[in-house]
């Protein structure tokens, strides 16, 4: 299963701790990197670096519920940034997908991950690429 | 913590809440959830239209999210495979109204008059696809049923033919954002 941690400019890392260190607790001024990690293997899957103070973090865990026909969740971790450059909003949004509870061709449970990287929100390019409802601390 | 979210079907007076997350649920002429009941089919009408009892579905967080769940959407695969003379119309609703009708024959028609908290007249559910889904109002930060319901109803015209329709169940999908 995928989750996230943040690395601050001090080098210290802080993993998501349910209800104690959550997305809204991230100190955005101290943010150096946001990392999607595989919690089962304790390995990084995707890292977004905050190497420009104008970059503002965006993260969502977008879930498509399972059904009788597709009995596993499809989750998309939407991770990226937006910044204002001379009045223009520049965005880099990345989509880290995972399946949860999927079975492979042998009938064994095996989850899958894949990553897509894009610019601005563009649901015409991909139906997952639509904007979340922005929170005050993301603007 | 990642929220645990399930899909419920609401029936009866209270209502009765039945989790259907990875189940089929039958839209027939009865106000109950079943996966394969054949005792209460929708009768093909001699004239006009007969209906399933309306089906009320809603999300529930059984484990709360860290912060918030919002941006809820509902959509289909865009393909009506019921066959000739059968459609499915629906819309979101801010509250619950029990379905009524004549068991084994027809449900009452889903309208804004019959279902007072429906947010608009029912429309073809298959127009709601992944790229143009139905936006569902609501959010939650706690473990609770949340968001508007999605209510739909199968419509059967005189041109329909007998049998279990569709051969492969239609697939309706809920999607949401979480932090």
Classify residue A139: in a domain, yes or no.
no
* Chain A contact for B24 (CB, 8 A cutoff): yes
Look up the domain containing A69 and give its range.
Answer: 2-132
User: pLDDT digit string (tens) for A2-38?
Assistant: 999 999 999 999 999 999 999 999 999 999 999 999 9
Residues contacting residue A53 through CB under 8 Å, at least 6 positions apart: none
Least CB-CB distance to B177: which of A66, A124, A132? A132
Residue of B nearest to A70 (CA): B22
Classify residue A137: in a domain, yes or no.
no
Burial of A109 (0-12, 13-18, 19+ CB in 10 A): exposed
pLDDT per residue rounded down to tens, chain A (139 residues): 999 999 999 999 999 999 999 999 999 999 999 999 999 899 999 999 999 999 999 999 999 999 888 889 999 999 999 999 999 999 999 999 999 989 888 988 888 899 999 999 999 999 999 999 999 999 8
Which ipTM score applies to this complex?
0.94
Total domain count for chain A? 1
What per-residue confidence (pLDDT) applies to A109? 87
Classify residue A40: in a domain, yes or no.
yes
Asked if B140 and B65 count as a contact pair (C-beta separation under 8 A), the reply is: yes
Residue of A nearest to B170 (CA): A69
What per-residue confidence (pLDDT) applies to B1? 75
Classify residue A138: in a domain, yes or no.
no
Classify residue A118: in a domain, yes or no.
yes
Report CB contact under 8 Å: B66, A23: yes
Report CB contact under 8 Å: B66, A18: yes
pLDDT per residue rounded down to tens, chain B (179 residues): 799 999 999 999 999 999 999 999 999 999 999 998 899 999 999 999 999 999 999 999 999 999 999 999 999 999 999 999 999 999 999 999 999 999 999 999 999 999 999 999 999 999 999 999 999 999 999 999 999 999 999 999 999 999 999 999 999 999 999 99
């Amino acid at each position: 299963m995928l989750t996230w941690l943040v690395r601050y400019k001090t080098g210290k890392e802080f993993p998501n701790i349910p209800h104690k260190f959550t997305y809204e607790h991230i100190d955005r001024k101290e943010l150096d990197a946001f990392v999607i990690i595989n919690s089962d293997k304790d390995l990084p899957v995707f890292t977004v670096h905050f190497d420009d103070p104008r970059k503002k973090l965006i993260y969502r865990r977008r879930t498509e519920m399972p059904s009788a026909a597709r009995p596993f969740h499809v989750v998309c971790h939407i991770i990226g940034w937006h910044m204002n450059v001379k009045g223009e909003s520049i965005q880099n949004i990345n989509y880290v997908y995972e399946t949860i509870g999927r079975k492979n061709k042998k009938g064994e449970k095996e989850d899958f991950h894949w990553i897509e990287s894009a610019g601005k929100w563009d649901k015409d390019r991909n139906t997952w690429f639509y904007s979340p409802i922005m929170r005050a601390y993301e603007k | 913590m990642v929220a645990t979210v399930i899909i419920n079907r609401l029936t009866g007076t209270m209502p009765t809440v039945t989790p259907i997350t990875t189940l089929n649920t039958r839209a027939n002429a009865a106000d109950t959830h079943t996966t394969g009941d054949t005792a209460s089919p929708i009768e093909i009408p001699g004239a006009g239209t007969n209906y399933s009892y309306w089906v009320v579905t809603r999300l529930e967080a059984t484990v709360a999210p860290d912060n918030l769940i919002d941006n809820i959407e509902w959509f289909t695969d865009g393909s009506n495979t019921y066959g000739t003379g059968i459609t499915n119309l629906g819309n979101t609703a801010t509250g619950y109204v029990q379905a009524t009708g004549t068991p084994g024959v027809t449900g009452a028609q889903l309208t804004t008059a019959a279902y007072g908290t429906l947010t608009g007249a029912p429309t073809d559910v298959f127009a709601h696809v992944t790229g143009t889904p139905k936006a569902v109002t609501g959010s939650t930060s706690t473990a609770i049923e949340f968001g508007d319901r999605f209510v739909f109803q199968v419509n059967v015209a005189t041109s329909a033919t007998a049998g279990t329709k569709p051969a492969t169940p239609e697939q309706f999908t809920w999607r949401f954002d979480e932090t």
